Amino acid sequence: MASEQRLASASTWILLLVALSAHLCRGDSSITHDDLNTPSQPGCDNSFVLVKIRNWMNDVEVTELVGVSARFGEKISDINVALDAIPLAMPSLVSSCNTSSIPLNGHAALVRRGECTFTRMARTAQAAGANALIVVNDKEELCKMVCSENGTFTDIQIPSVLVPKSAGDILEAGLLRGETVKILMYSPKRPIIDISEIFLWLMAVGTVVGASFWSALTAKEAALEHYRSIKEGGDPDLSDADHDGNKDVVDINVMSAFLFLVMASVFLLVLYYFMSQWFLILLVIFFCIGGFEGLQTCMVALLSWWFPRAAGTYYGVPFLGAVSGLSLAVGPFSLLFAVLWGIYRNHSYAWIGQDVLGISLILSVLQVVRLPNIKVSTVLLSAAFIYDIFWVFISPLIFDESVMIVVARGDKTNGEGIPMLLKVPRLFDPWGGYSIIGFGDILLPGLLVSFCLRYDWSTKKRLFNGYFLWTAVGYGLGLFWTYIALILMNGNGQPALLYIVPCTLGTVFLLGWWRGELITLWNKGEQVPPLEDYVNSSQIDEHPDRSS
């Protein structure tokens, strides 16, 4: 059993470190981007907008393509009406750097990216009568079509869009086959709020609240077991922490809280510089191990209420030691679930398995790692608060891009980000995608909320007179303000702890100061009251030890 706990503890700490390394509430999912590095010029001041390109070949609609609009020319409409589709044609000179011998009246010109500038391509196509310009990039990445020379570009009136090489190959192949190709370019707006964000909010808040009650119940059972041992002649000077050593509970101290954030910064840089497909696979393996451990722990804890005998019967297992019969029963299912998710993680339905494994992992971590007082919580959450601000907003000044956003988006792994996050597909978003929240945005404030409930129970505080309810409300409110910031910032990635930490830690400080309990919270934290104040002998007898 000890070996099993050490394995779970090691994988838990590794995953907690990775989860904190990149834990945006939502990655950079905006469809509109401005370029502050390119000076605005007359006729060259458009924002870069993602564009959908519907296309028909011989009046049969095929796969929709995606490109990005230019900084110049007419802005792309958000209207999607098939009647506005226009035929596509290729100029006689593929690069379109010179005048085309083929008239393009009423057509959209399809050209390959050549040696001349984007603005010259647009002017040439417009002079030939084209209604729009599609430029095919020479690689899969999308670049920004800017005005490379100084001047005025108000004469360019047609919309211009850059598409990746594969998309251009599809359109060109249809034209070379002699098919009639028509296109419709539009840029639909994202809804202000998607129902997926509501589901994600409920999942995050529900996970924190559920983990808090589980942590408090575990602490209460440990206290009852301690008092029972005293009643049976055990050492009354033995602390709960010593008595509960087999539970593998870890209390964070000030030094470990500070070092943990330093290690998270180092690991974030490692992900930023060395992230690759094989590195991602390694993280997926760690997530599967942690998810398996978490799912098994949660299932055993839940089923032990109905099958106490199986939970209290242990068997010797090579390399693992003593393992309960219930763990042996649910272990294969948990392992199969984690392995199947790892294999099919890129399928459209894989987010369900990821959320199940993720929530299970978070619940189990919040049983292993605990805060002893508000002093440690202040160090941990304040450091995380600064960490978030630095790596999201200040790191672009040093690295020319936001390190955390790059890692969270998975820019170096073909868009597949690290799996340490909860995700829900955006149901009413024409651009699709997911609403996401990183494990760190649940785990770190969850430690504080769990501490508050244990403190309330140990000091016999009522719900409205305690700290748990108001801190949980503060967490939900902080997450809500994060979504408001996402809307105001046009969907750009936001560090959730920037809003959650003041709403949770600030709530505890304000209530503690108002009630005159701040010193107790700061130094002592949760206190186990004397036996006669906490529970009487009859209550102890009513809770027999399940392991017997």
Residues in the chain: 548
**Taking the mean position of all CA atoms in its chain, how far away is CA 476?**
17
- Spatial CA neighbour of 160 closest among 129, 127, 131: 131
3-class SS of residue 57: strand
Q: Is 429 a catalytic residue?
A: no
- Long-range residue pairs from 350-357, CB within 8 A, at least 24 positions apart, any chain: 351/423, 351/424, 351/425, 351/434, 354/419, 354/421, 354/422, 354/423, 355/203, 355/422, 355/423, 355/424, 356/295, 357/287, 357/288, 357/290, 357/291, 357/292, 357/294, 357/295
Q: What is the 3-state secondary structure (H, E, C) of 5-54?
A: HHHHHHHHHHHHHHHHHCCCCCCCCCCEECCCCCCCECCECCCEEEEEEE
The letter for the amino acid at 156 is I
Q: Is 533 a catalytic residue?
A: no
Choosing from 194, 244, 355, 388, which is the catalytic residue? 388
Q: Where are the beta strands (DSSP E) in 339-413?
A: 369-370
The contacts of residue 142 (CB under 8 Å, 6+ apart) are: 67, 68, 162, 163, 164
269-271-273-278 Cα dihedral, nearest 10 degrees: 160
Six-digit token pair at 385?
A: 């608060």
DSSP state of 442: H
Beta bridge partners of 251: 370
Choosing from 194, 244, 441, 456, which is the catalytic residue? 441
Six-digit token pair at 1?
A: 């059993």
- Spatial CA neighbour of 111 closest among 129, 88, 142, 87: 88
Provide φ and ψ at 49, rounded to 5°. Answer: -125, 135
The letter for the amino acid at 180 is T
The contacts of residue 402 (CB under 8 Å, 6+ apart) are: 28, 391, 392, 393, 395, 396, 493
Six-digit token pair at 485?
A: 């910031």
Angle at 401 between CA 398 and CA 402, to 5 degrees: 95
3-class SS of residue 239: coil
Cα–Cα distances (Å) from 235 to 230, 394, 530, 545, in that order, read 6, 54, 14, 18
The contacts of residue 282 (CB under 8 Å, 6+ apart) are: none
Cβ atoms of 448 and 474 closer than 8 Å? no
Cβ atoms of 88 and 110 closer than 8 Å? yes
The contacts of residue 184 (CB under 8 Å, 6+ apart) are: 53, 54, 55, 80, 81, 82, 84, 85, 86
Beta bridge partners of 52: 66, 186
Tally the C-alpha atoms within 13 A of residue 30's C-alpha that lie toward its C-beta: 18
For the annotated catalytic residues, the residue numbers are 388, 441
